Amino acid sequence: MAIHTDAEPLPRIPGDRPANAIELRDLKPLPAHVETPPVDFFDVLAGRRSRVGGSVPTGLLGKLLWHATQLRERGFDGRFGQWESRPTPSAGGIHSIRLLAIPLDADDVAGVYDDATHAIGRLDQDAAAAIALNRASVTELTAAVAGTTLQLFADPTRLTACYDNHSSLLWRDAGAVTATLCMTAEALGLNAVPLGRHGDEVAHAFGLPAYVVGLGAVHIGARSSANDTVRDPTLEHTRR
Ligand SMILES: Cc1cc2nc3c(=O)[nH]c(=O)nc-3n(C[C@H](O)[C@H](O)[C@H](O)COP(=O)(O)O)c2cc1C
């Protein structure tokens, strides 16, 4: 866990560092058509608030995942071998953070986002326990009654192998991903609110391996006048 007294991160000696693969099954493709809305960046900055909303249509969820995570460049000549460029900056270009989508409504699609195939895949375990745990957590932390939680998680193996004192890099990566998700949601006309939890329990209940760590979550909601709620900072659950 990164705290402000943690030692400075230090790159280890150069060399290839392998990553573990997480095998997904039952990959469900997300809609392939992903347009880019003509939105002004400064309107997005000015308009973003923490809000909850309604159920998120799969197509809109797909747009959010695509725009927020799209791979722009991948090289193999970094000091630790593979590096990538995506909308969010990441220490060493390692990008160890992935997203697990968990809807409050058990009928909506749940699973790990696979950006290579733009699809959502399951693990061996039934999703029901993770959906129930997540629903309880979202209810405790926000006023949401609908929507889809994007749980950030990472296998820290590769980052640990590349850096001494890697923890603060991982948490800073998580903050950057959180901001990108919130801004992208705003640009797409979706509501988003970060969740103050780590989410380890939810990630493991979904079937992710024990070495995976939860790195916070962003709850997404569809925007509609009936469901929109701007988070009230005077409420107990918003003081995080
Ligand atoms: C790391 C982090 C954790 C947060 N956790 C929660 C939370 O658990 N519940 C919630 O309603 N809002 C949460 N928020 C949202 C803040 O309460 C919100 O950003 C703040 O009140 C300012 O409002 P604004 O985002 O609309 O500008 C969190 C924000 C951050 C950055």
Identify residue 207 by its one-letter amino acid code: G
- According to the model, what pLDDT value does residue 228 have? 59
Q: How many residues comprise the chain? A: 240
Among 114-123, 150-159, 186-195, 226-235, the range scoring the smallest mean pLDDT is: 226-235
Compute, in angstroms, the gap from residue 142 CA to the centroid of ligand 1: 9
Answer whether 240 contacts ligand 1 (Cβ < 6 A).
Answer: yes
Residue 122 lies in a domain: yes
Residue 201's CB is within 10 A of a number of other CB atoms, namely 15
The per-residue pLDDT for range 152-190, each reduced to its tens digit, is 999 999 999 999 999 999 999 999 999 999 999 999 999
Decide if pLDDT at 111 tops 60: yes
Residue 76 lies in a domain: no
Q: Which atom of ligand 1 is nearest to the CA of 239?
A: 17
The per-residue pLDDT for range 40-61, each reduced to its tens digit, is 999 999 999 999 999 999 999 9
- According to the model, what pLDDT value does residue 138 have? 98
Better pLDDT: 31 or 231: 31
What DSSP string runs through 126-146?
Answer: -SHHHHHHHHHHHHHHS--SS
Residue 197 lies in a domain: yes
Residue 39 lies in a domain: no
Residue 10 lies in a domain: no
- According to the model, what pLDDT value does residue 235 have? 42
Decide if pLDDT at 233 tops 50: no
The beta strand positions in the chain, using DSSP E, are 10-11, 25-29, 51-52, 73-78, 81-85, 97-103, 111-114, 119-122, 148-154, 163-164, 190-195, 213-222, 229-230
Compute, in angstroms, the gap from residue 97 CA to the centroid of ligand 1: 20
- According to the model, what pLDDT value does residue 180 have? 98
Percent over 70 (pLDDT), the chain? 93
Q: Please state the separation of Cα 134 from the chain's center in Å.
A: 14
Full domain range(s) for residue 141:
52-70+97-155+181-222
Among 1-5, 138-142, 154-158, 162-166, the range scoring the smallest mean pLDDT is: 1-5
Better pLDDT: 108 or 117: 117
- According to the model, what pLDDT value does residue 217 have? 98
Residue 37 lies in a domain: no
Residue 61 lies in a domain: yes
CA dihedral angle for residue 30, residue 116, residue 219, residue 39, rounded to 10 degrees: -80
Confidence of residue 209 (pLDDT cuts 50, 70, 90): very high
Compute, in angstroms, the gap from residue 227 CA to the centroid of ligand 1: 18
Residue 185 lies in a domain: yes
What DSSP string runs through 161-180?
Answer: HHEES-HHHHHHHHHHHHHH
Q: How far is CA 67 from CA 64, 76, 94, 128, 201, in A?
A: 5, 23, 18, 28, 27
Answer whether 207 contacts ligand 1 (Cβ < 6 A).
Answer: no
Residue 137 belongs to domain with CATH number: 3.40.109.10
The per-residue pLDDT for range 77-88, each reduced to its tens digit, is 998 999 999 999
Residues 197/214, Cβ–Cβ less than 8 Å = yes
The total number of structural domains in the chain stands at 1
Among 16-20, 190-194, 202-206, 230-234, the range scoring the smallest mean pLDDT is: 230-234
- According to the model, what pLDDT value does residue 134 have? 98
Q: What is the mean pLDDT of residues 53-75?
A: 97
Confidence of residue 143 (pLDDT cuts 50, 70, 90): very high
Tally of helices (H runs) and strands (E runs) in the chain: 6, 13
Identify residue 35 by its one-letter amino acid code: E
